[in-house]
Structure 1
């Protein structure tokens, strides 16, 4: 009897020992899994040129929604249209060791040093809406700004029947958006008989500057038929200047299709605006950043479609 009890006791000890080992293994596996999840957590830094512009606010909103839906952390910093602040912001993101940095440059040339700093830290860089003139960039996500400038010019030329004086309000000098939109515009209008660009001046993508620059241009140019502005904020500033000068018959075409601009098109205050899709650009930027963080290959240039918004289709 005692021998049987001893055998049962021995079996019980073996079973309990196996159970303890199993529990230990399960707990260890869970700990390892949790550690892996923590190590695989993606943090994306996003340096935006300015949030004092409806276009970039919508771009940010699109990025934030996409990040939330994907369960990744997004750290947005506002450069306030100051190159020095943007460089400092990017350095901070590098110090925080984010997984990927998205950059919407204030200045395509000046941002190069910050891109190179991220390169040295082995943090992938993706540019958004505006490109960098140097450094290693994994992908560039933007509308085709050259094509957009050409779309605006084609619309103006058709509306004017290839006759008349045109004003161009340029964006911030040094930005790829201003350079490319201007290039697309001039590809269409330059060299055309009967058409003349009588003024081409920067207004820095700003509504107040668009107003003041347009006022100055109107003083020296009485016979203006159309205005092409590199963004809607400048276009809306030009509209205000034209209204004050009782010149509301001048065609004004902008770029971005912000809410205010689309409203102005509906009301007949602006003739058209080239519609970028900032929310989609933001969403695409996050989706691309996640792929890059996971080591997946992405295209070097990722375009986002454009549309021309006129009174006929503004609704």
Structure 2
């Protein structure tokens, strides 16, 4: 999956040369006049999830560092709302758009709207389908999934585990799930008993986990593709969490780090959401200034366990 994605991005980069030539940042209508203010749009899938609040903080940091103005949009996890918001940013003639899509596959109309307006697009945290994306800034989600599998297998030992999937249309869920399966394939003693989606939502994580542990007795642990779902699973397990049932999440949110520290969660795969946001702003501004832009930036992830959680809590 990881290699095929790189191949797709390489092909997209070749195709995008036509777009770059047509939209040369040295002469593009969207390039600000000397001394003019650069206004960038940030279309986020949600601004209620703790991870995406940290992502926003990173965008705000980039906004300050680059001396630009950012217009913030919250789609509340609705792809139709996000399309309307991107169209609004286009009508406001922003110079670039940072798009964190609600759904990778459903992001195409928004991407095309930006392309038709000759507005450069940066994909943040999740891949974007269609249009002309000048850069994608994301975590190495496949590798993160592989490391989550290793952490869960170490915590549970041989046996069956559960898998809480995120929003199925997103590249983040797809890649984390792919990595998790790859990681377990290296450990034949640990098998997935059930996989169900809880859509990256804590309340759904709690209810879906309750359903799965009722349907499958004897399972020893669970991997959730984000920390909100993992914390929902902690609620569902109650006193069992961290004792006879091990939970691994993904994101490294403050609440999840606290759960790892207390022993309720075995581990979380920590992303760097602030760095994702900061880098996205930087790539957009570099493009607008006619500087070199990287078509893919993968921000490293780290597994956080009881052994090293204090390092993250102190930061």
TM-score using structure 2 length: 0.85
Select the residue among 72, 75, 78 that pairs with 1:76.
72
SS at match of 2:255: helix
Structure 2 residue 83 is matched with structure 1 residue 118 = no
Decide which of 41, 50, 58 is 1:62's aligned counterpart: 58
Deviation at 1:100, TM superposition (A): 0.6
Change in Cα spacing, 1:67 to 1:116, as seen in structure 2 (3 Å) is same
| Kept in 1: contact 2:286–2:293 (CA 8 A) | yes
1:246 and 1:271 map into 2 onto residues whose CA distance is: 9
SS of the residue 1:298 aligns to: coil
Secondary structure of residue in 1 paired with 2:43: strand
Partner of 1:92: 88
Alignment of 1:156 with 2:152, yes or no, is yes
From the superposition, tell whether residues 157 and 35 of structure 1 become closer, same or farther in structure 2 (CA, over 3 Å). closer
- 1:102–1:128 contact (8 Å) kept in structure 2: yes
Offset of residue 159 of structure 1: 2.9
Is the CA contact 2:250–2:270 (under 8 Å) kept in the aligned structure 1?
A: yes
**C-alpha separation in 1, matches of 2:53 and 2:155:** 32
For residues 201 and 158 of structure 1, what CA distance do their matches in structure 2 show?
22
Secondary structure at the residue paired with 1:140? Answer: strand
Name the count of aligned residue pairs.
279
Gapped regions of structure 1 (runs ≥ 5): 1-33
Partner of 2:309: 314
Distance 1:152 1:246, change over 3 A: closer
Q: Do residues 53 (structure 1) and 41 (structure 2) align? A: no
**Separation of aligned partners in 1, 2:162 and 2:57:** 33
Distance 2:181 2:73 in 1: 34
Across the aligned residues of Structure 1 and Structure 2, the Cα RMSD in angstroms comes to 1.6
**1:303 and 2:295 equivalent?**
no
Partners of 2:91 and 2:229 lie apart in 1 by 36
Equivalent position SS for 1:36: coil
Q: Which structure exhibits the higher relative contact order, with contacts defined as CA atoms closer than 8 Å and separated by 6 or more residues?
A: 2
Map 1:37-52 to 2 at 5 A.
37-38=35-36, 41-52=37-48
**CA distance change for structure 1 residues 235 and 35 in 2, over 3 Å: closer, same or farther?**
closer
Deviation for aligned residue 1:304: 0.8
Is 1:228 the counterpart of 2:203? The answer is: no
Q: Is the CA contact (8 Å cut-off) linking 2:40 and 2:69 kept in structure 1?
A: yes
Q: State the distance in 1 between where 2:39 and 2:47 align.
A: 21
